[in-house]
Chains A and B, each alone.
Chain A
Amino acid sequence: MGINKTEKQVLLDVQHLKKYFEVGKNQTLKAVDDVTLQIYKGETLGLVGESGCGKSTFGRTVIHLYEPTSGTVTFDGMKVDKSMSRKQAHELTGRMQMIFQDPYASLNPRRKIMDIVGEGLDAHGLAKKRKDKEEQVIRLLETVGLQAEHADRFPHEFSGGQRQRVGIARALAVNPDFIVCDEPISALDVSIQAQVVNLLEELQEKRGLTYLFIAHDLSMVKHISDRIGVMYLGYLVELADSEELFNNPVHPYTKALLSAIPIPEPEIEKNRKRIMLEGTLPSPINLGNECKFASRCPHCSEQCKSAQPPLKEIKPGHFVACSKFC
């Protein structure tokens, strides 16, 4: 896991990405608001935050399932937006793939695994003959720890963990460089989660994959990610190496989020002092100009209410958006 820092090469460059949804009259939901970040080749960028903070929308906008409201996404020198020609868009789907959260909803129940996994091969003309396709699908299934005979079955014949493996095999079929993993383990049991995470790590080592790993289970994110971004109400509030983020969190929201994770060791957990956040996530509709965290922040001041602070680099590679602490 991890790459040498001297040879970092930007694979995905996201600049001031915004994705707004119109929800009713004069109401705008700013799901992703001015997010700028880079993802380097071969790394795993973890993205965490509470539900409704826009992390999934970010992932979907990045691989162009949504058209951004403004801002740019550049993938390996290629602009990802509606100006792409059909050929470019086609090429892009061969290089960027997605693994979805719910393995029960993301596989077509009426198609066999062979067709589900092989669809990408057909679409990209990666298999010339039927036999070739079958061989490739079987090889993919074996890569993700399933067996050849599974190709002839339907999704309902599999357990949750196995279905997620099918989802991974489908994403791998077109041999992508970049995979968006949108909460790939949150629907699975603890003992199965570890299997899937190990598989993702193994594949990354073998194929040099780059991951955007979206999750709300922070301990798992820390385990798999090289760097972690924390989102709050559509805004990226902190971004740092995963060790750095866990050891020296700066933004008050990151601190509260980290302190909320229960540690599976009773001696530590029962004697820990928590930073408790007051209240719940405010509605993301029609937010004002103040710092998005102002309403729940224990350190909120007048300055925080006047403007949303920009993301600033406080240490090499450690970015924080807070007017108080940087």
Chain B
Amino acid sequence: MGKILEVSNLTIHIKTHKGTVQAVRDVNFYLNEQETLAVVGESGSGKSITMKGIMGILPKNGKVTEGTVMYNGKDLTKYTEREMQTIRGSEIAMVFQDPMTSLNPTMRIGKQIEEMLKAHKMDMTAEQRKARAIELLSLVGISNPEQRYKQYPHQLSGGMRQRVVIAIALACDPKVLIADEPTTALDVTIQAQILDLMRDLQKKTKTSIIIITHNLGVVANIADRVAVMYGGKLVETGDVYEIFKNPCHEYTKGLLASIPKAHEKGNRLRAIPGTPPDLMDPPKGCPFAARCNETMVVCQQFMPEYSDCGSDHKSACWLLDPRAKGGKA
């Protein structure tokens, strides 16, 4: 399996009236063909902005200041808006968090799917588009697709709407699907259905998926590899089994310890004290230093390099440096 998408040294700044937010700082990761990469992190850790940077849909005040996004051997950050439009939707598609707001309430869902086809598949006739829209609706598990085709978003439940959003994203057979918290707004029973659907569709369409989530259960369910973000930095990346069994970064360890395990009972949760750093004025060293139990003097001063913790498992933590030797300064 080759790498279909590779992000190197990606840095994104967002200018606000209060100052510049360094939302994404020097992020590196890649996506293999037909795999699912889960990006985990709390709100404000830069996971959504990273994806928007890849798609070229940053807010007007945001800018990729450094780094490359290699897709099929080409750097997407160098693309003009017009060139990006040929990629967006047809090559890389996105599913957003809230299906209530990502659909147009005044437009029939069939037309919303066809809109995508109109933009990217110019040679399709109206009949072909309609047939494809109905085919897509049944692909994402919507019953009576011919009737649903004519309905408006308000006539569908939340889970159904998310299915429609996924159908729109898949309309042009994209190679990469980026799903930004696709199940956060849904109930657990519906979440299970959508995750099932995504896994199923991946087998059928051979799409590579990046899923953003903060639910570690969802990660365990769907991901092949995991990237953990904190304070605008990527702090750990690796195979899903590795990350859960042998987390190397203190933040990942804290995150895994802070969730109650459904099938075992502990007395007190191990919470991570404190709050995430302010990215307007990010810490010089490791972003997690202020909340870390194992923090050393060096952590506050210098950002650690990535160390190998296993095959294809990297983490940026000073404790992994050979010079640390497990001793606190």
Contacts and interface: CB of A to CB of B under 8 A. Distances in A.
Interface of A: 1, 50-51, 159, 161-162, 189-195, 197-198, 201, 216, 218-220, 222-223, 243, 246, 256-270, 274, 276-277, 280-281
Contact of B188 (A50, A269, A270, A281): A50
Contacts, number: 128
Given A189-B214, A190-B255, A222 B192 contact: no
B217 interface: yes
A209 B53 CA distance: 48
A184 B294 CA distance: 30
Contacts of B193: 276-277
Nearest to A193: B258
B59 interface: no
Contact of A262 (B215, B241, B256): B215
B265 A262 contact: no
Contact of A198 (B188, B220, B223, B271): B271
A269 B258 contact: no
Contacts of A197: 269, 271
Contacts of A269: 217, 220-221
B239 to A, nearest CB: 9
A140 to B, nearest CB: 20
Contacts of B259: 190, 194, 219, 264
Contacts of A198: 268-269, 271
Nearest to A195: B271
A277 B194 CA distance: 12
B252 to A, nearest CB: 11
B219 interface: yes
A281 B240 CA distance: 33
Given A189-B43, A216-B188, A270-B220, A264 B268 contact: no
A159 B268 contact: no
Given A222-B262, A222-B265, A280 B190 contact: yes
Given A190-B258, A246-B262, A256-B189, A262 B272 contact: no
**What are the 8 closest A-B residue pairs judged by CB atoms, nearest first?**
A262-B217, A223-B260, A194-B271, A194-B258, A189-B42, A264-B216, A269-B220, A194-B269
Given A191-B254, A264-B261, A159 B275 contact: yes
Interface string B210-246: 0000111111110100000000000000001100100
Chain A interface mostly: helix
Interface residues of B, number: 46
Contacts of B258: 190-191, 193-194
Interface in B190-216: 190-193, 195-196, 214-216
Given A190-B42, A194-B269, A264 B219 contact: yes
B270 interface: yes
A197 B273 CA distance: 13
Contact of A264 (B188, B217, B269): B217
Contacts of B262: 218-219, 222, 246, 258, 261, 263
Contacts of B160: 280
A266 B244 contact: yes
Contacts of B240: 266
Contacts of B255: 190-191
A281 B214 CA distance: 25
B217 A263 contact: yes
B17 interface: no
A243 B265 contact: yes
